Amino acid sequence: MRNKVAIVGAADTEVGVVPDLSATQLYVKAARLALADAGIGKDDVDGLITCVSWAEPYVYHAEIIAEYMRIFPRYCITAPAGGGTTLTMLHHAASAIATGMCETILITMADSQVSGLSRDKAIEAMSTAGHPQFERPYGPPIPAFYALIAQAHRHAYGTTDEQRAAVAVACRRHASMNPAAQMRKPIAIADVLNSRMISDPLHLLDCSLVSDGGAAIVMTSAERARDFPRRPVYLLGAGEGHSHEHLSQALSLTTSAAREAGARAYAMAGLGPKDIDVAELYDCFTPVVIIELEDLGFCPKGEGGRFVENGRIELGGELPVNTHGGLLSHCHPGHPGSMFAITEAVRQLRGECGPRQVPAARVALVHGQGGFMSSHGTAIFGNEMV
């Protein structure tokens, strides 16, 4: 699929607390904004992909959005794959375009996890994520599973609280330059370490936000992309890796299937980690970024903690990571979280990011994961074909 598919439209809605728009309305607003960015109308779309909404969980979700927008696609999919949904669906969309199943695909994802869910519903969702026999009876919420991962990495490689905090600091620094971000006040390592303990060793600022919001992209063939008004962003490589569903069944708590997903994406693109100018990595919790950096080949296994120190993942550093602020500081509406990483990668490769722009960015990597380091997807984009 290298050089065969391109993104020709990308857009985000407002994020944070958006009480005046339901989850469905956020889906549609994101879609309309992306179509406008692409310079086309809804009748030009013949493929539609959405993700499952927690706030408004329709069984036939993509069909509901198509009905709402009066789109009549020949390719229509709804996917529930946690945080990895976006990258998995992008991979599917690229395959559909490359094989001629459709020509123009709209991927729109949104949710209303603040305004659309009661506190009781949110807690219920968090408490039912574990294995029904081996995990759920002991009551761990989602942060507790990631705390186990953090503890395992610390035990194996000596990763420190300060190193994990450096991830949150970098994301917040980038968010401070992004007027669309939910949290923009700069923080220091001490702020992370002094924030409320959620699940040892993870503090509040080690954990992603809870948000309303949506984002969407428009994809078409690389050949057709030349006829659109915006500079195309080409899909150079994509790959997936799937290792387990429940954390108690994982073969390792310190190495993930990001290794396989990344390797497949690099192989398709004919590129390697040193070719990446900017990385948008799934950051639901700070230790996840450290493990992803290792498994995606940006540093050796066990060196992730040291890699994030001293501004190396900040703008101006060796590898700018999550230049929009990520899930830790920009927003996290659940399943759509990685969509904002894709729209940010598109803007970076178009050179549209203003003060947070990575100079001369040509190649961007986006990585998403769902579950508990379970289901991984990697995509590599370029503003030129390779």
List all residues 6 or more positions away from 190 whose beta carbon is below 8 Å from its beta carbon.
Answer: none
Confidence of residue 80 (pLDDT cuts 50, 70, 90): confident
| Residue 295 domain boundaries | 5-117+209-382
User: What is the pLDDT, as a whole number, of residue 269?
Assistant: 98
CA dist 329 to 1, 171, 177, 283, 381, Å?
33, 6, 11, 10, 23
User: Cα separation of 363 and 54, whole Å?
Assistant: 33
Confidence of residue 137 (pLDDT cuts 50, 70, 90): confident
Of 6-15, 69-78, 111-120, 248-257, least confident by mean pLDDT is: 111-120
User: What is the pLDDT, as a whole number, of residue 140?
Assistant: 85
Does 181 reside within a domain? no
Q: Is 131 a residue whose pLDDT tops 90?
A: no
User: Cα separation of 330 and 239, whole Å?
Assistant: 25
Closest CA to 40 of 109, 130, 110, 104: 104
CB atoms within 10 A of CB 15: 25
Q: Which residues on adjacent β-strands are paired with residue 108?
A: 216
The per-residue pLDDT for range 194-227, each reduced to its tens digit, is: 999 999 999 999 999 999 999 999 999 999 999 9
The per-residue pLDDT for range 262-275, each reduced to its tens digit, is: 999 999 999 999 99
Q: φ and ψ at 237, to 5 degrees?
A: -160, 150
User: What is the pLDDT, as a whole number, of residue 22?
Assistant: 96
Judge whether 250 and 244 are in contact, CB under 8 Å: yes
User: What is the pLDDT, as a whole number, of residue 82?
Assistant: 76
Q: Across residues 166-184, what is the average pLDDT?
A: 98
Helices (H) and strands (E) in the chain, counts: 13, 11
User: Cα separation of 186 and 365, whole Å?
Assistant: 25
Closest CA to 224 of 8, 383, 32, 76: 8
User: Cα separation of 13 and 296, whole Å?
Assistant: 30
Q: Is 81 a residue whose pLDDT tops 60?
A: no
The separation between CA 386 and the C-alpha centre of its own chain, rounded to angstroms, equals 24
Does 249 reside within a domain? yes
Kindly list the strands in the beta sheet with 47-51, ordered across the sheet, starting from the edge strand earlier in the chain.
75-79, 47-51, 105-112, 212-221, 5-12, 233-242, 375-382, 363-370, 278-281
Does 253 reside within a domain? yes
How many domains are there within the chain? 1
* Long-range contacts from 136-145, C-beta under 8 angstroms, 24+ separation: 141/199, 143/198, 143/199, 143/202, 143/207, 143/285, 144/199, 145/247, 145/372
Q: Is 127 a residue whose pLDDT tops 70?
A: no
User: Cα separation of 23 and 29, whole Å?
Assistant: 10
Q: Across residues 181-187, what is the average pLDDT?
A: 98
Q: Is 371 a residue whose pLDDT tops 80?
A: yes
Coil/strand/helix, residue 367:
strand
Does 163 reside within a domain? no
Does 186 reside within a domain? no
Q: φ and ψ at 303, to 5 degrees?
A: -100, 0
User: What is the pLDDT, as a whole number, of residue 1?
Assistant: 83
Does 51 reside within a domain? yes
Does 139 reside within a domain? no
Q: Is 126 a residue whose pLDDT tops 70?
A: no
Judge whether 47 and 74 are in contact, CB under 8 Å: yes
Residue 308 sits in a domain whose CATH number is 3.40.47.10
Q: Across residues 111-135, what is the average pLDDT?
A: 80
User: Cα separation of 369 and 292, whole Å?
Assistant: 10
Closest CA to 167 of 86, 281, 2, 58: 281
User: What is the pLDDT, as a whole number, of residue 44?
Assistant: 97
Does 185 reside within a domain? no
Q: Across residues 151-163, what is the average pLDDT?
A: 98
Coil/strand/helix, residue 330:
coil
The per-residue pLDDT for range 277-331, each reduced to its tens digit, is: 999 999 999 999 999 999 999 999 999 999 999 999 999 999 999 999 999 999 9
User: What is the pLDDT, as a whole number, of residue 136?
Assistant: 82
CA dist 358 to 161, 193, 218, 290, 314, Å?
28, 29, 23, 21, 10
